[in-house]
Amino acid sequence: MQIGGPADGAISVMIDMGMALYVVKEHAIYAVQLADQVDPGRTNVAVTQQRLLSIGTHDPAFARIFLTAYTMFKSMHLGASFPEGQAWSARVRISPGHRRNDVDSFRKGG
């Protein structure tokens, strides 16, 4: 399976967000959902992928904020009782349809 195109760069990390697998590439972030997530009745067995943002691990602000949080929100760092899944549920919501000014706002930290 190919996620995105060559201009998006290589896959840097994949994050299980529950409702989708976030595939973080060098220049883009995709949400990938399997057939069971999209269509539990299995009338359409296609795997879907949706580009969420046109920034990725080569963006300094994204790398500092999102990837640091991804690394630190682990029970191996914060103890076995840390609710790792709940921490990611409370993450900054990345939703489809972001405009350029939303990406710029993200980069500025607001």
Please give the average pLDDT of every successive group of 10 residues along the chain, which has 110 residues.
93 84 92 75 73 90 82 78 70 46 50
Query: Residue 101's pLDDT is what?
Result: 46
Across the chain, where does the E strand assignment appear?
Answer: 11-16, 21-25, 29-33, 48-53
Query: Residue 48's pLDDT is what?
Result: 83
Domain ranges, ordered by start, for the chain: 6-108
Query: Residue 74's pLDDT is what?
Result: 76
Residues 6+ positions from 68 with CB-CB distance below 8 Å: none
Reading the block at residue 10, the tokens are 């290589």
Reading the block at residue 106, the tokens are 């993200």
Query: Residue 64's pLDDT is what?
Result: 84
